[in-house]
């Protein structure tokens, strides 16, 4: 019995150590690519803004801060293209159209704003960034705690990726997000190293073109998402 308890304690200790070692690796690998001075960033294919929830037809406070920073980068000529990536699984939950509408209301040309309707997760968003949208060099906009993972994924998949942090204040529920992020880093560390394919595929839509090609008038349920994106632009 004592041996079993000792084995259990050792296993738990090794598991916790493994979790934190991976987190340290992700953070230290990525932190050098987070830029406070974005004036040095040139020839960027697009600015990727990751979704963060909507409240009715408005961006959540966290998402609004991401959008404001992305729009700031666009207006300062970091890139002439914005890519809004988020969850659009039904008529009642459509992050990306809310994000694009916000950008247009802030005097961004609709043709410069692409939408990835299948950005269901951070990994899916970044995998599809390369494989669907043909991006080689990207600036990712999200909060700093999230940037480490996003940059790690992008660079592991072969992109030249940099990050610019959105306003980093204390949002409601932030403590829980930080805990979840620890586990998410471990999960996406493994997926990135194995280069796991996103389950949401489709035809190539290059960000060098017209963002209006990703406009839609469709709604769909989660179980229909694969069929929807295979038949449409993805």
Domains held by the chain: number: 1
Q: Rounded CA gap, 35 and 48, in Å?
A: 15
Q: Is residue 206 part of a domain?
A: yes
Q: What's the average pLDDT block by block, 10 residues per block, for the chain (234 residues)?
A: 75 83 94 93 96 89 96 97 86 85 96 93 96 97 96 98 88 84 95 92 89 70 44 42
pLDDT of residue 49: 98
Place of tokens 């998949």: 157
- Residues 124-141: tens digit of each pLDDT: 999 999 999 999 999 999
**CB neighbours of 169 closer than 8 A, spacing ≥ 6?**
65
Is residue 31 domain-resident? no
Q: Is residue 192 part of a domain?
A: yes
Bridge partners (DSSP) listed for residue 113: 82
pLDDT tens, position by position, 211-223: 999 997 433 333 3
Note down the domain range covering 137: 42-169+177-231
The enclosing domain of 124 has a CATH number of 3.40.50
- Please provide the average confidence, as pLDDT, over all residues in the chain: 88
């Amino acid at each position: 019995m004592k041996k079993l308890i000792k084995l259990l304690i050792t296993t738990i200790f090794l598991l916790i150590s493994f979790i934190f070692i991976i987190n340290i690796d992700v953070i230290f690998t990525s932190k050098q690519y987070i830029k406070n001075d974005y004036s040095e960033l040139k020839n960027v294919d697009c600015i990727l803004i990751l979704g963060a929830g909507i409240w009715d037809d408005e961006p959540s406070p966290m998402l609004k801060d991401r959008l404001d920073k992305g729009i700031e980068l666009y207006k300062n000529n970091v890139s002439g293209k914005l890519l809004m990536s988020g969850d659009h699984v039904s008529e009642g939950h459509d992050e990306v159209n809310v994000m694009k509408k916000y950008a247009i209301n802030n005097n961004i040309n609709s043709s410069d704003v692409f939408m990835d309707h299948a950005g269901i997760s951070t990994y899916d968003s970044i995998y599809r960034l390369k494989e669907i949208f043909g991006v080689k060099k990207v600036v990712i906009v999200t909060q700093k705690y999230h940037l480490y993972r996003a940059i790690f994924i992008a660079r592991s998949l072969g992109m030249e990726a940099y990050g610019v942090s959105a306003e980093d204040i204390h949002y409601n529920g932030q403590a829980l997000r930080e805990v979840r992020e620890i586990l998410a880093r471990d999960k996406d560390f493994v997926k990135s190293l194995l280069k796991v394919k996103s389950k949401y595929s489709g035809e190539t839509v290059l960000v060098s073109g017209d963002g209006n090609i990703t406009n839609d008038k469709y709604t769909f349920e989660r179980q229909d998402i694969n069929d929807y994106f295979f038949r449409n632009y993805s």
